Structure 1
Amino acid sequence: MIPPLHFRWDGDALVPLRPILADRHYVVGETYSIVEHHDRSANSHRHYFAALGNAWSNLPDRMLEEFPTAEVLRKKLLIRAGYADERSIVCASKAEAQRVAAFVKPMDDYAIVTVREAVVRVYTAQSQSVKAMGAKAFQESKTKVLEALDDLLGVERGATARSEAA
């Protein structure tokens, strides 16, 4: 796999900033497709986690059992916002499904485990790491999580994001 390489447009050609690396991975005369990449904003990342932390520290006491830490809050809201991986287990009976759910739940403190009839569904939050999620997907997930947090708290959409912006 070719590592990300940076190029500068000089008006005529894309010139590699590290020619030795470009020579190592590209062949002179070959044609390559280019896709623009935008690095994630460190400020956006810090804002997101600060807003989540601030909101968590101000949660009503009745919500602390469901969201005992800011990390649990973030991951569960990621799942609710649709940034989740789902695994389903079909059991032989409703009773077996209840037993399987009880067995699976302690394996991941952040997972949401549901049972419907004889089917157990396990939802786990997708990673928001820089490696797992690019700038656009991170920004979309950040917006959806903060909106879900606003809905959970019963405040105007955007209030959580603004509270940390000041």
Structure 2
Amino acid sequence: MECSGKLLCSFLCLELAALLMFVFCLILHALNGGTFSVSDVVFISSVLTICLFIMTITICLCLAPTCRPAVTLKLSNRRKPIDSEDVITRKLTVLHDTLDHDCPICLTTTQNLTVQLSCKHEYHESCIREWFERSGNFRCPGCRQECLDQTKRTPDVSSVVQTIKKDDISTFPLIENV
């Protein structure tokens, strides 16, 4: 359970208000000449003990996450470096020299080389390379999808065979062994 400063302050204010209201009622009762029996004193001490216990638990639970060692925080913020420029290049498809609209990363339409990711979002090449290097992953800054390699794929054998089947095979010359 991680509490923010406002939430901690709200809990403590609510608990303090309830405690003060209880004490105020006790003081008014005593000032008006009321007496307390043994059972009243036991009840009052029980309520005060429970209120103080709840306040202590609230403070301990909300302050515990902030007492983590700095080493744990540094390890969680560490990003793995990108191995090579070739890995980034495989994720990009070069489109043209200019971007028709503002680059979502740098917010300009300068004359930089424009590339497209596998999710079809367009960025300046220099901007998206820097984004990949700083983030340590290959996710699109716009939609957060993992960017796939954009290498040009050669058709596989089955698609070539099906294309040949669609054509008239009789038009191909027969090769005879001589």
Same fold per superposition (TM over 0.5): no
Q: Write 1 or 2 for the structure with the bigger share of strand.
A: 1
**Structure with the larger RCO, 1 or 2 (CA within 8 Å, 6+ apart):** 1
Structure number with greater Rg is: 2
TM-score (normalised: structure 2): 0.23
Q: Which has the higher helix share?
A: 2
